[in-house]
């Protein structure tokens, strides 16, 4: 008779939880999983997927405007926000059904309800208790709201995906990837957008050239971006909402969207009572094997606040399953993880920023180009592309690739393979470009930027 009800019990049926549970089950493990909302998690239901659908919708505004330069006469286009939201919700329902089927087909038993750990091997869901040899925390994260007067009038990205009507004026507080993505969506759909960024620009932590170029492009599209500013209070007014800023100004808005960070969903899980260590933000502290201070309890994905990307959560969970259920010890390698920001224009990046490379490599060579993409020679749009390579001078190895412009995420995915393989600048130079494309610029950049690069970038 088995000592436990399950070999593995997972808390959270998002991307990481589902991936790890299915992989473990495929190796013969008895797996249970608990979800308190809907199967699919943040990425599928409240993040990457619905947001990308809204980004696609917003891009049609540019496409209609650019068509005239290519000889098209397009009748006046009309946009209907409720139709988009209804179609988006229909797609999310479809994906939710696919995830449910994947769990069922894998033999993973789903428990619907809020789960809480009772002891290192026992989980309680809705009054029922189950036991497991190992427990995996994959509960994700949630948007944070600051404690300022009137914050109850603000919304987060969760609500922004389900607005009943398109606002006329939006104030977006924050300058990270969620903030710039929604700023691009709303602006393209005709909303008057103002961003309040606490730092000196957008995308803090990204390469400085990416930050500067995207800031310029966003402002060029008509988005008002107030740097080193913040909201200090929000008031309900006869016309909508009034936002008081750190600078003492008053901004009028129909919605105030906060995108100032996320926190792990770990509260109320019973972790601390069992000796699982959490940091000040509530993130589960784990080692390189995703193991917590309690040997039977593991954690992956945004609940650990290590590298909050969906493919990373999936990779961490699969590494856990390989290690424990396939006799294939595996630790996730966090180097060279590519990422994208689906702003307008989008950003793609992999490897080290220039600043990071100068700290870790010492001497570096920087190659950078800015140009008007071929498409806009006829459309007349002023949008420009920025591409950049960061090279370790001693080894000639390319340690960073960065791009702002159309198709950046698609192009950077290929660059990520090159960096993972340790490609050198000489090998980039020896690669034949595909002409005419923007991507070919990554293999045709020959002129190094002069020193000091940091001053030139500013």
Output the pTM of the full model. 0.94
Instruction: Tell whether 174 and 127 lie within a shared domain.
Output: no
Instruction: Tell whether 219 and 300 lie within a shared domain.
Output: no
Say if residues 84 and 54 touch (Cβ distance below 8 Å).
yes
Q: Tens of pLDDT along 57-86?
A: 999 999 999 999 999 999 999 999 999 999
Instruction: Tell whether 268 and 138 lie within a shared domain.
Output: yes
**Final residue of a structural domain among 276, 296, 325:** 325
- Is 376 among the catalytic positions? no
Phi and psi based region of residue 211 (left: phi greater than 0; alpha: psi -120 to 50; beta: remaining): alpha
Instruction: Tell whether 413 and 314 lie within a shared domain.
Output: no
Domain range enclosing 78:
6-142+263-325
Total domain count, the chain: 3
Phi and psi based region of residue 106 (left: phi greater than 0; alpha: psi -120 to 50; beta: remaining): alpha
Instruction: Tell whether 69 and 130 lie within a shared domain.
Output: yes
Average of per-residue pLDDT values in the chain: 95
- From the candidates 142, 324, 376, 435, give the one annotated as an active-site residue: 435
Helix (H) or strand (E) holding 137: strand 128-137
Within a domain: residue 244?
Answer: yes
* Alpha carbon separation from 313 to 91, 196, 233, 309, 454 (Å, rounded): 23, 30, 36, 6, 34
Within a domain: residue 307?
Answer: yes
- Cα Dmax for the chain: 75
Instruction: Tell whether 138 and 37 lie within a shared domain.
Output: yes
Within a domain: residue 339?
Answer: no
In this prediction, residue 1 carries a pLDDT of 42
Check which CATH number belongs to the domain holding 96 and give it. 3.50.50.60
- Angle, CA of 149, 151 and 156, to the nearest 5°: 160
Instruction: Tell whether 223 and 252 lie within a shared domain.
Output: yes
Check which CATH number belongs to the domain holding 349 and give it. 3.30.390.30
Instruction: Tell whether 229 and 374 lie within a shared domain.
Output: no
Secondary-structure percent of the chain, ordered helix, strand, coil, rounded to 5: 35, 25, 40
Instruction: Tell whether 237 and 273 lie within a shared domain.
Output: no
Within a domain: residue 332?
Answer: no
Q: Tens of pLDDT along 142-190?
A: 999 999 999 999 999 999 999 999 999 999 999 999 999 999 999 999 9
Instruction: Tell whether 277 and 387 lie within a shared domain.
Output: no
Token reading at 313: 């959560």
Within a domain: residue 336?
Answer: no
Within a domain: residue 340?
Answer: no
| pLDDT-flagged residues of the chain (< 70) | 1-2, 452-458
**Final residue of a structural domain among 241, 260, 279:** 260
**Final residue of a structural domain among 242, 260, 278:** 260
The whole-angstrom separation of Cα 197 and Cα 448 is 32
* Alpha carbon separation from 403 to 123, 184, 327, 334 (Å, rounded): 45, 17, 40, 21
The whole-angstrom separation of Cα 389 and Cα 354 is 9
Within a domain: residue 240?
Answer: yes
Instruction: Tell whether 112 and 207 lie within a shared domain.
Output: no
In this prediction, residue 453 carries a pLDDT of 46
Say if residues 350 and 338 touch (Cβ distance below 8 Å).
yes
In this prediction, residue 451 carries a pLDDT of 84
Instruction: Tell whether 199 and 213 lie within a shared domain.
Output: yes
Closest CA to 151 of 235, 239, 226: 235
Q: Tens of pLDDT along 17-73?
A: 999 999 999 999 999 999 998 999 888 888 999 999 999 999 999 999 999 999 999
């Amino acid at each position: 008779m088995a000592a436990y009800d399950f070999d593995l019990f997972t808390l959270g049926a998002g991307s990481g939880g589902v991936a790890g549970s299915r992989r473990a089950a495929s190796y013969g493990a008895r797996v249970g999983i608990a979800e308190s909302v809907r199967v699919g998690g943040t990425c599928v239901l409240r993040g990457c997927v619905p947001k990308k659908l809204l980004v696609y919708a917003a891009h049609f505004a540019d496409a209609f405007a650019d068509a005239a330069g290519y000889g098209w006469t397009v009748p006046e286009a009309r946009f209907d926000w409720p139709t988009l939201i209804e179609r988006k919700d229909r797609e999310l329902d479809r994906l939710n059904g696919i995830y449910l089927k994947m769990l069922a087909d894998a033999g993973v038993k789903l428990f619907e309800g809020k789960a809480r750990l009772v002891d290192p091997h026992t989980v309680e869901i809705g009054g029922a208790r189950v036991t497991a040899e190992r427990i995996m925390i994959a509960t994700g994260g949630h948007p944070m709201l600051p404690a300022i007067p009137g914050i109850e009038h603000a919304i987060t990205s969760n609500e922004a995906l389900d607005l009943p009507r398109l606002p006329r004026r939006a104030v977006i507080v924050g300058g990270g990837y969620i903030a710039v993505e929604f700023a691009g969506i709303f602006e393209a759909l005709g909303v008057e957008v103002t961003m309040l960024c606490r730092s000196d620009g957008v995308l803090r932590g990204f390469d400085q050239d990416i930050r500067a170029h995207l800031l310029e492009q966003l402002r060029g599209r008509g988005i008002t971006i107030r740097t080193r500013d913040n909201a200090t209070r929000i008031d309900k007014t006869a016309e909508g909402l009034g936002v008081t800023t750190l600078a003492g100004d008053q901004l009028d808005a129909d919605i105030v969207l906060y995108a100032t960070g996320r926190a792990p969903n770990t509260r109320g899980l019973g972790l601390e009572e069992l000796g699982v260590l959490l940091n000040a933000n509530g993130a589960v502290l784990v080692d390189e094997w995703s193991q917590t201070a309690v040997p039977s309890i593991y954690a992956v994905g945004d609940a650990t606040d290590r590298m909050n990307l969906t493919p990373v959560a999936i990779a961490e969970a699969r590494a856990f399953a390989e290690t424990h259920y396939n006799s294939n010890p595996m630790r996730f390698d966090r180097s060279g993880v590519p990422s994208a920001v689906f702003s307008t224009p989008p950003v793609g990046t992999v490897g080290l920023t220039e600043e990071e490379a100068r700290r870790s490599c010492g001497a570096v060579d920087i190659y950078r180009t800015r140009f008007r993409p071929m498409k806009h020679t006829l459309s007349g749009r002023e949008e420009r592309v920025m591409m950049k390579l960061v090279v370790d001078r001693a080894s000639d190895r390319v340690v960073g690739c960065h791009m702002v412009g159309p198709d950046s995420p698609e192009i950077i995915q290929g660059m990520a393979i090159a960096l993972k393989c340790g490609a050198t600048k000489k090998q980039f130079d020896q690669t034949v470009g595909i002409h005419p494309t923007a991507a070919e610029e990554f293999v045709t950049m020959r002129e190094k930027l002069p020193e000091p690069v940091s001053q030139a970038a500013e």
